[in-house]
Chain A
Amino acid sequence: MSIAVAADHDVARRWHVRDVGLWMFLGTIAMLFAAFTSALIVRRSTGDWADVHLPLILWVNTAVLVISSATLERGRRLGVTDRRRAVPWVAATCVLGSLFFAGQIEAWRELSRLGFYLPTTPAASFFYVLTGVHVVHLVAALVCVGVLLGRTVSSRASREWPYAAGAVSTFWHFLTGVWIYLLAVLQAA
């Protein structure tokens, strides 16, 4: 019994270290988007700014991403007691995350159909760059969710699952938050 407790303590300590690393990493992402935002504010004041109409599908994408955060959170909570109960929720997150990715590509296509390409206006440039950089991060997070799904369906016992699920969901929720922030910035711009 005492050996098991010690092992649990080791696992908790290892994941505590990973949490520190994760939060520092999220801090760098926050600084990245803060820099983009301040660049947008400065660029907007230079006089030739023309608003770009945001594609309506972005609102659908936003809803999809928020729901995906909810499914992942639900899965994480259920999985703490019984990992198998988390499977459909983590799988749903994978599907919804992929849908969001596809939805963003559709948003870019819609904008280009309206004649707004990357260099057309500064607002369009920022739209493509901001959403593009966000999607790159989201794809990385989606890979993490996929790995988590693999661990969730795996039959091997793992004391680390709750920690892994916690780290992945923190990353995912963070990117959902960043997306809502970006949408507000783009809408305001």
Chain B
Amino acid sequence: MSHHDSFLRRYVFSTDHKIIGIQYILTGLAMAVVGGALAALIRLQLGWPSQQWPALGRLLPAGMPGGVMTPEFYMSLVTMHGTIMVFFFISYVLVSGFGNYLVPLQVGARDMAFPLLNMLSYWIALLAALVIVGSFFVEGGAAAAGWTAYPPLSAIASAMPGSGAGQTLWLLSMALFIASFTMSGLNIVATVFSVRAPGMWMMRMPLTVWSYFISAIMGLLAFPPLTAAAIMLLFDRHFGTSFFLPSGLIVAGRVLEHQGGSPLLWQHLFWFLGHPEVYVLILPALGIALDIFPVFSRKPVFGYRVSVYSLIAVGVLSMVVWGHHMFVSGMSPFSGEYFTLSTMLITIPMTIIGVNMLGSLWGARITLATPMLFALGIIALFGVGGFGGLFLGNATADMQLHDTYFVVGHFHLMIGGVTLLATFAAIYYWFPKMFGRFMNERLGKVHFWLTFLPFFLIFFMQHFLGLQGAPRRYYAFTTYEYLRETLVQNVAISHTAFLLIAGQVLFAVNFVWSLIAGRAASANPWQATTLEWETSSPPPHGNFVQVPIVHRWAYEYAAEGASEDYTPQTVPASRVAVTP
């Protein structure tokens, strides 16, 4: 690409990783609005079941006839909220978006290894997003079998309204998403392996790059089994095969012809992807936090090597723990024991990463700028959410807690909260690099408190709902005597959820306002050490005027003999001694 390219070539059909990264981020944020709107509808129903909302009835006549939500629509909302938030918001913004933007810059490359493939990956991702949103408008509405798409519900087109065209489009969208995510992952791995700047040894790479690298490898290995499962599910749905459908199923009074299939087979294949996917999302969040801490505490990251080894250990172990999602599926107690042990094992490297985060802050002069606040919030949610994971990873406790709101609370704190805070931390931190302007600090800080506190309260409270035995996915708790007393908590959760959503309006205003009129940022406004800050803000096409030469690791803060309290990676040892 050159500076003489047309607007379309430069900013729409671009092969520049930075533009593609921003395209992913904007698409993901737009999808977050959709996912957030679905969450608001879910909370309306759970806080005030069977309440009439005439205005919504006019807006959504099929899902809320007369203004009252139907159970089928509620199932669609839950399914699509999960699907959109996991695959089309967090994956797009945090993994593909910032992965694309940051990895080449931080390793000192001019672009991704395969720029054309990168562009293709974005356009397929956009198509996947359009298909999933479009599925709301087909006959029967969007898919309603949960974001995990368990058969038989997902495999029988006549099971419920969303099981028809909506579920088929869900599968099509997932196929497109996987194709796009695979292309993106191939690019990240090849870029890290082969296009690093001179001197950028693997053990000099920032932890953000490490986390994207490991998460990309995990994605490449874990997604194909879901592809295989999706192909088989499509055949079960449309061509009469019985991979997942057992004998004797009766739908609408008619016995289905399918024979001998195993619904559990889907669960195994889904969770073989599903669990690594959690780490595919959460590792970049941890990498970003570990990179932001040194900048605002003005001291090197604590335990760099151990963090790298822990990230690798998490990557490896995450591939062999999927069965802890299936303790109640009737699996052998010996298998349950194995999955409990392997899950407990993965807490070791995760805890080490957590301790290294705390160690990075120990004795530091901390500046509570907005990115740092969000990064600190990650520690809180990671700690509390991770603690809940200890109960769910243990077969004995999980038998009681499975499919309750304890699980919903846990995974929202981890895969929802940690990644959401990391997304905001990343946006506030790299916004000056991406657009050459700062976001407003005061609005940013208010946004942090209106995000962190409500988010924590909502999902912390849901743990207690789970302990009271409230099952997830129920349309109306008031139907059951033993759950009626939870209504007060649900109303409180719903109010807090609306506060959380309102807080995001501040972010939207800040984002747009700062794009237009934010304070101008220099090349290295945070006085950071990594390579992306060694080029202009925003960086030019090709990223660097000259390919940088790396002389040191990414966390040279408060080095002896340096005139400043930070030493960029490009400063040679002759000027400032390299930390061994």
For residue B188, give the distance in angstroms from its CB to the closest CB of chain A.
10
CB–CB B224/A39 < 8 A: no
CB–CB B221/A46 < 8 A: no
Whole-angstrom CA separation of A34 from B269 in the bound complex: 11
For residue A20, give the distance in angstroms from its CB to the closest CB of chain B.
5
CB–CB A39/B260 < 8 A: no
CB–CB A17/B113 < 8 A: yes
Residues of A within 8 A of B232 (CB): 39, 129
Residues of B within 8 A of A35 (CB): 224-225, 227-229, 269, 272
B194 near A: Cβ within 8 Å?
A: yes
Binds A, one of B237-245, B293-301, B571-579: B237-245
CB–CB B224/A32 < 8 A: yes
Known: A21-B113, A24-B189, A25-B186. Contact between A32 and B227, CB under 8 A? yes
Residues of A within 8 A of B186 (CB): 21, 24-25
Known: A17-B113, A28-B224. Contact between A119 and B261, CB under 8 A? no
Our pick among A17, A34, A47 for the contact of B260 (Cβ within 8 Å) is A47
Our pick among B182, B185, B243, B259 for the contact of A39 (Cβ within 8 Å) is B243
Whole-angstrom CA separation of A58 from B557 in the bound complex: 65
Q: What are 22 pairs between A and B in contact, CB < 8 Å?
A: A13-B194, A17-B113, A20-B113, A21-B113, A24-B186, A24-B217, A24-B220, A28-B182, A28-B220, A28-B221, A31-B220, A31-B224, A31-B225, A33-B228, A39-B265, A42-B265, A43-B265, A46-B260, A46-B262, A118-B240, A122-B241, A122-B243
Our pick among B190, B223, B243, B272 for the contact of A24 (Cβ within 8 Å) is B190
CB–CB B190/A21 < 8 A: yes
Task: Across the interface, name the chain B residue whose C-beta is closest to A117.
Answer: B240
B387 near A: Cβ within 8 Å?
A: no
CB–CB B262/A43 < 8 A: yes
Q: Interface readout for B164-197 with A: 1 if CB under 8 Å, 0 if not?
A: 0000000000000000001001110110011100
CB–CB A43/B261 < 8 A: yes
CB–CB A27/B190 < 8 A: no
B495 near A: Cβ within 8 Å?
A: no
CB–CB B225/A119 < 8 A: no
- Give the dominant DSSP class at B's interface: helix
Whole-angstrom CA separation of A31 from B228 in the bound complex: 9
Whole-angstrom CA separation of A20 from B264 in the bound complex: 35
Task: Across the interface, name the chain A residue whose C-beta is closest to B262.
Answer: A46
Task: Across the interface, name the chain A residue whose C-beta is closest to B225.
Answer: A35
Residues of B within 8 A of A25 (CB): 182, 186
Q: Interface readout for A41-70 with B: 1 if CB under 8 Å, 0 if not?
A: 011001111000000000000000000000
Interface size class of B (residues with CB under 8 A): 35 or more
Whole-angstrom CA separation of A25 from B106 in the bound complex: 24
B331 near A: Cβ within 8 Å?
A: no
CB–CB B194/A118 < 8 A: no
For residue B269, give the distance in angstroms from its CB to the closest CB of chain A.
6
Interface size class of A (residues with CB under 8 A): 20 to 34
A-B residue pairs, 7 tightest by C-beta: A119-B240, A35-B225, A48-B260, A35-B228, A32-B224, A31-B224, A17-B194
B435 near A: Cβ within 8 Å?
A: no
A29 near B: Cβ within 8 Å?
A: yes
A133 near B: Cβ within 8 Å?
A: yes
B268 near A: Cβ within 8 Å?
A: yes
Within 8 A of A (CB), among B87-119: 113-114, 117
Residues of B within 8 A of A161 (CB): none
Known: A28-B221, A35-B228, A46-B261. Contact between A118 and B235, CB under 8 A? yes
CB–CB A125/B272 < 8 A: no
Q: Interface readout for A1-22 with B: 1 if CB under 8 Å, 0 if not?
A: 0000000000001001110110
Task: Across the interface, name the chain B residue whose C-beta is closest to A39.
Answer: B265
Residues of A within 8 A of B242 (CB): 119, 122, 125
CB–CB B243/A125 < 8 A: yes
For residue B209, give the distance in angstroms from its CB to the closest CB of chain A.
16
A36 near B: Cβ within 8 Å?
A: yes
Our pick among B193, B222, B260, B269 for the contact of A122 (Cβ within 8 Å) is B260
Whole-angstrom CA separation of A184 from B425 in the bound complex: 51
B502 near A: Cβ within 8 Å?
A: no
Whole-angstrom CA separation of A21 from B231 in the bound complex: 24
Residues of B within 8 A of A21 (CB): 113-114, 117, 186-187, 189-190
For residue A3, give the distance in angstroms from its CB to the closest CB of chain B.
19
Residues of A within 8 A of B247 (CB): 48
Q: Which of B117, B217, B228, B265 has the most CB of A within 10 A?
A: B228
Whole-angstrom CA separation of A13 from B229 in the bound complex: 37
Q: Interface readout for A105-148 with B: 1 if CB under 8 Å, 0 if not?
A: 00000000000001100100100010001000000000000000
Residues of A within 8 A of B194 (CB): 13, 16-17, 20
CB–CB A17/B190 < 8 A: yes
CB–CB A39/B239 < 8 A: no
Within 8 A of B (CB), among A130-183: 133
Within 8 A of B (CB), among A60-110: none
Our pick among B193, B220, B231 for the contact of A133 (Cβ within 8 Å) is B231
CB–CB A125/B229 < 8 A: no
Whole-angstrom CA separation of A129 from B261 in the bound complex: 15
CB–CB A118/B239 < 8 A: yes
Whole-angstrom CA separation of A9 from B114 in the bound complex: 18
Residues of A within 8 A of B193 (CB): 17, 20
Residues of B within 8 A of A122 (CB): 241-243, 260-261
CB–CB A129/B231 < 8 A: yes
